């Protein structure tokens, strides 16, 4: 909703941007980072060890692909259950249960010897991630009401940084321990650390958690399934992030077919993650003083489009440049889309429901995107066709982005 205190609807109140952070805010942001780091290694730790895992478990290529796609689907479907989880245990306990699920899933990989067991851990971890991604933003909206772009930027950057750590540290741990199980199971440790940090942070104010739980239980019913804006945000988020899942799935194979080594193609993917994390933090901060997020969303989408065009037209000229520009666009748009969704209501409970729905629809779409990109590649005979498809989707999302006017925030539920 547009705040009445703002004379100019395109700008946020000035004190939001200039007020100094308190030490309590810094502690909370640190906890958000510790939590966010745990949300992607369960996906990115698989890819570098895939050959070894397939040889040890007998998984087919299709089964192996489910180790990364199944958690993403679970993230989407699980997000739709966020409302029930909030009503049952509250947002704080829901985040704790999500961290516990991730810790248990990763620990179980220490002894998982079959493909079915690994797929079960992937599903459990995906549900845990879904709970955290759906519930923590509502907590952040309440805790950092005046600094939502900062909090969401930190959260998104930590998610993407954790993805990079998963891809780089798991092979090292696997070599050091002479066990691929150790490379996957080691991520139970940071999940336990995050769970302890979250418990310590919230045990000092149990009454606040109980009050939030009671307030959530008596929240006004809100049906998002029949709300056009909720579907628009969900599809927008999903199609934009479909570019990320498609590049993660196919970028190394694209450059390996062009004569680039496995190690070098993996380095390109790691480089994309670095640019993603930086932009996920910086773009929301740049947009923080502006009520209208659309120009910044357009900037992120334009960067993504420029990177894809580079892959289409001059893929061998400066691969790191194209991958970096595309990664920056993907990371910045990811976090700023979530900020835009939260902008639609000052009530953190309503904003939490909307962001859960957005991610529910979005992650299901994002999980489908690499499959479609692979089909396009098979039909066209080259990855260029897949990149053209993704570029067309970005152009369409640039047009959709014009709908997110601040003036529409107060009327989106009607």
Pair (175, 208) in one structural domain: yes
If one compares 261 and 123, the residue with the highest pLDDT of the two is 123
What is the per-residue pLDDT across 148-169, written as a single tens digit (0 to 9) for each? 899 999 999 999 899 888 878 8
Give the CATH number for residue 59. 1.20.1250.20
Question: What is the rounded distance in angstroms from the CA atom of residue 165 to the CA atom of residue 98?
Answer: 20
> Would you state the pLDDT for residue 403?
93
Cα(300)–Cα(283) distance, rounded to whole angstroms?
Answer: 8
265 and 404 share a domain? yes
Tell which of 194, 219, 244 closes a domain. 219
pLDDT of residue 278: 93
212's enclosing H/E stretch is helix 206-217
- The burial of 232, by beta-carbon neighbours within 10 Å (0-12 exposed, 13-18 middle, 19 or more buried), is given as middle
Say whether 1 sits in a helix, a strand or coil: coil
Does 267 share its domain with 215? no
pLDDT, one tens digit per residue, over 77-97 is: 988 888 888 888 888 999 999
Residue 267: what pLDDT? 79
Q: Are residues 402 and 256 in the same domain?
A: yes
**Which domain range does residue 128 map to?**
22-219
Q: Do 251 and 200 belong together in one domain? A: no
Q: Are 251 and 268 in contact (CB under 8 A)?
A: yes
Pair of tokens at residue 269: 């993917």
Work out the percent of the chain whose per-residue pLDDT is above 90. 48
Mean pLDDT of the chain: 86
What is the predicted pLDDT for the residue at 180?
A: 92
Question: How many domains, the chain?
Answer: 2
Structure tokens at 402: 């014009």
346: pLDDT confidence band, cut at 50, 70 and 90?
confident
Q: What pTM value is reported for the model?
A: 0.82
Judged by DSSP in three states, 79 sits in helix
Would you state the structure tokens that stand for residue 216, as one six-digit string? 């959530």
**Distance (Å, rounded) from C-alpha 330 to C-alpha 325?**
9
How far, in whole angstroms, is CA 381 from its chain's centroid?
A: 31
- pLDDT band for position 210 (cuts 50, 70, 90): very low
DSSP for 217-261, please give it.
HTPPP---TT-HHHHHHHHHHHHHHHHHHHHHHHHHHHHHTTT--
Shared-domain flag, residues 249 and 237? yes
Residue 268 lies in a domain: yes
What is the spatial distance between Cα 267 and Cα 265, in angstroms, rounded to a whole number?
5
**Residue 69 tokens, joined:** 């796609």
Same domain, 112 and 259: no
CA distance 195 to 21: 24
């Amino acid at each position: 909703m547009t705040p009445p205190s703002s004379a100019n609807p395109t700008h946020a109140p000035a004190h939001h941007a200039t007020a100094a952070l308190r030490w309590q805010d810094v502690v909370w942001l640190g906890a958000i980072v510790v939590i966010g780091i745990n949300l992607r290694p369960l996906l990115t730790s698989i890819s570098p060890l895939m050959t070894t895992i397939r040889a040890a478990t007998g998984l087919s290529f299709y089964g192996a692909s489910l180790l990364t796609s199944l958690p993403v689907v679970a993230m989407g479907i699980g997000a739709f259950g966020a409302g029930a989880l909030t009503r049952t245990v509250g947002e704080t306990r829901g985040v704790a249960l999500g961290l516990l699920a991730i810790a248990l899933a990763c620990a179980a990989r220490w002894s998982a010897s079959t493909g079915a067991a690994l797929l079960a851990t992937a599903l459990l971890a995906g549900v845990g991630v879904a709970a955290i991604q759906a519930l923590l933003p509502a907590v952040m909206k309440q805790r950092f009401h005046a600094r939502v772009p900062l909090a969401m930027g930190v959260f998104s950057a930590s998610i993407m940084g954790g993805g990079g750590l998963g891809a780089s540290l798991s092979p090292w741990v696997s070599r050091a321990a002479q066990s691929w199980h150790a490379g996957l199971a080691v991520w139970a440790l940071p999940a336990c650390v995050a769970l302890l940090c979250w418990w310590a942070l919230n045990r000092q104010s149990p009454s606040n958690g109980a009050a939030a739980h009671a307030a959530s239980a008596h929240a006004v019913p809100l049906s998002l399934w029949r709300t056009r804006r909720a579907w628009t945000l969900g599809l927008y988020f999903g199609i934009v992030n479909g570019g990320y899942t498609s590049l993660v799935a196919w970028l190394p194979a694209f450059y390996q077919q062009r004569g680039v080594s496995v190690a070098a193609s993996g380095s390109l993917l790691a480089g994309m993650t670095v640019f993603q994390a930086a932009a996920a933090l910086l773009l929301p901060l740049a947009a923080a003083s502006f009520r209208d997020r659309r120009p910044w969303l357009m900037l992120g989408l334009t960067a993504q489009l420029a990177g894809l065009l580079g892959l289409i037209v001059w893929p061998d000229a400066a691969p790191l440049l194209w991958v970096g520009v595309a990664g920056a666009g993907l990371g910045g748009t990811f976090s700023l889309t979530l900020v835009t969704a939260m902008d639609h209501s000052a009530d953190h409970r309503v904003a939490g429901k909307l962001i859960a729905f957005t991610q529910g629809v979005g992650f299901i779409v994002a999980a489908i995107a690499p499959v479609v990109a692979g089909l396009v590649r098979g039909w066209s005979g080259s990855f260029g066709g897949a990149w053209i498809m993704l570029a067309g989707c970005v152009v369409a999302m640039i047009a959709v982005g014009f709908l997110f006017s601040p003036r529409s925030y107060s009327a989106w539920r009607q």
